[in-house]
Amino acid sequence: MCAFLTRVFFVSMSLAFAGPSAHALGVTPLVVEINSGDPSQRTAQILVNNDSDRDVPIEVVVSRAEIAEDGSRQVTPAPNDFLIFPPSRMLRPHSKQVFRVQWAGTPVARSQTYILAVNQLPVAMPEKKSGFQIVFNFDVVANVAPPSGKKALDVLSSGVVSEDGKKYVSLLLSNPGTVHSKLSEASLTLKSGSWAKTLSPGELEYAVGIGLVQPGKKRRFKLAVPMPADVKNVGAEVELGKAMR
């Protein structure tokens, strides 16, 4: 009897991607905010859109994430921290499904970050047929905040680094508060001698994504910022939006 092989290729869509609009499967939003102490803010919704001509099985898997200084993350399964309804669903062609996400824990003392992995599951191929499938996994970031607290970003160091003949601004930031902070919700002012440049939240989001800094953690960022040739070092100031706590 001849054996037939189906190869499955997993494509992960994470924070570095601008959005899923170019793909048959779309997920919005990619970041959700939860307040663990406010009943009206303990839930969120994730919309999954199947623009393809075939059935797509979907499941949502929850993990807690710790973000390292270099932006890498360590995840731990946390299936009991959220209630997901429905936990899985078969999406018909050209259909949409809303997944309701509800915090199932008690109020937290400081923000916690979770990854809600929206996974497309491979399907069984017809008998005696070989081929391959491409399945997409989308990571939705869920930040769970305490009932109250403070967001903060401090600049620990800043400088200019050169790589492959190009200059970049290197930043080391810390969050001494109890609530998660995002560089994409701040303005950044760089100064060196008579030269200065301020980057808006939109420019920072384009450069680094959401730029998440967890409470009590540090994050290092590298920004491609046009600057005069004689700039060898820079000072930096970060200001969170006035609406931030």
pLDDT digit string, tens, across residues 219-234: 999 999 999 989 999 9
Q: Residue 241 has what pLDDT?
A: 78
Q: Residue 134 has what pLDDT?
A: 75
Has residue 170 been placed in a domain?
yes
- Residue 14 pLDDT greater than 70, yes or no: no
> Considering its fold, how many domains does the chain have in total?
2
pLDDT band (50, 70, 90) for residue 10: very low
Instruction: Provide, rounded to the nearest whole percent, the portion of the chain with pLDDT above 90.
Output: 77
Q: 159 with 49, same domain?
A: no
Average pLDDT over residues 71-100: 96
Q: Residue 186 has what pLDDT?
A: 97
Q: Which residues contact 234 (CB under 8 A, 6 or more apart)?
A: 158, 159, 160, 169, 190, 191, 192, 227
* Domain that includes residue 132, residue range: 7-145
Q: 110 with 224, same domain?
A: no
Q: Residue 123 has what pLDDT?
A: 72
C-alpha of 121 from chain center: 21
Q: 158 with 141, same domain?
A: no
Q: Residue 21 has what pLDDT?
A: 39
Q: 12 with 89, same domain?
A: yes
Average pLDDT over residues 203-208: 94
- Residue 209 pLDDT greater than 70, yes or no: yes
CATH number of the CATH domain containing 210:
2.60.40
Of 53-67, 121-135, 148-162, the range with the lowest mean pLDDT is: 121-135
Has residue 1 been placed in a domain?
no
Q: 48 with 97, same domain?
A: yes
DSSP string, the chain: -----EEEEEEEE-TTSS-STTSSEEEE-SEEEEETT-GGGSEEEEEEEE-SSS-EEEEEEEEEEEE-TTS-EEEEE-TTSEEEESSEEEEPTTEEEEEEEEE-SPPPSS-EEEEEEEEEPP-PPPTT--EEEEEEEEEEEEEEE-SS--B--EEEEEEEEEETTEEEEEEEEE--SSB-EEGGGEEEEEEETTEEEEE-HHHHHHHHTT-EE-TT-EEEEEE-----TT----EEEEEE-TT--
Has residue 245 been placed in a domain?
no
Q: Residue 19 has what pLDDT?
A: 35
pTM here?
Answer: 0.85
Average pLDDT over residues 1-12: 41
Q: Residue 11 has what pLDDT?
A: 47
Domain boundary among 95, 120, 145: 145
- Residue 3 pLDDT greater than 60, yes or no: no
With tokens 């807690």, the residue in question is 64
Q: 18 with 80, same domain?
A: yes
Query: pLDDT digit string (tens) for 101-140?
Result: 999 999 999 999 999 999 998 876 556 555 566 778 899 9
CA gap 110, 244 in Å, rounded: 16
What mean pLDDT is reported for the chain?
Answer: 87
Q: Residue 238 has what pLDDT?
A: 97
CATH number of the CATH domain containing 130:
2.60.40.10
Q: Residue 142 has what pLDDT?
A: 97
Q: 123 with 213, same domain?
A: no
CA gap 178, 183 in Å, rounded: 16
More confident residue, 5 or 224: 224
